Amino acid sequence: MASRVKLNVQSFPRPPLLQQTGRHLQVKWNGKLIADTKEAYWVLETHHPPTYYLPPSSIRVPLATTPRLSMCEWKGQATYYSIRDDDMADDDTADVVSNRIWSYNSPTQPFAAIKGYLSFYAGPWDCFVDNEKVEPQPGDFYGGWVTSDVDGIVKGRMGNLDPV
């Protein structure tokens, strides 16, 4: 893999910036490709690794909405989804994961470009940026993807956790 410029999260803006990335993103679950695109956006926000938003056309499996909603001060109300791996089915059961995928179906104006785009927490599936497997942003609250080019103090790591 070619060397990439370091992305220092401390230099990312607040309020966050939305940009198209051109990076190749993939999500694989139980060995199956469930998302693949070079048409994604990323959101860059101070002390956060990039959070990627994939176009609905890149998703290769059906999703179902869940009752969960959350609110982002910048992007608006998020809708969450569940996903089933019917290939893992045994006696009418399937591996189901809920609330690890989200979208903004009515985002605020600065984020209108990601209307309906989907973001994945990095886990339980494997997420890749330009063929590099990502690490999840620490803390299990934020959805950033940490790659080898992410540098600086990332929100959620020990010593900078939000109070409960």
Flag the least confident range among 49-63, 117-131, 133-147: 133-147
| pLDDT at residue number 4 | 75
Q: How far apart are CA 14 and CA 93, in angstroms?
A: 44
Q: What is the pTM of this model?
A: 0.90
10-34 pLDDT, tens per residue?
999 999 999 999 999 999 998 899 9
| CATH number for the domain running over 7-64+109-151 | 2.170.150.40
44 pLDDT above the threshold of 90 = yes
77-129 pLDDT, tens per residue?
999 999 988 665 454 556 899 999 999 999 999 999 999 999 999 999 999 99
Compute and round to an integer the Cα radius of gyration of the chain.
16
**Contacts of 49 by beta carbon, 8 Å cutoff, 6+ apart:** 7, 9, 137, 144, 145, 146, 147, 150, 154
Q: Taking the alpha carbons of 12, 138, 88, 96 in that order, is the dihedral positive or negative?
A: negative
Assigned token pair, 23: 């990076």
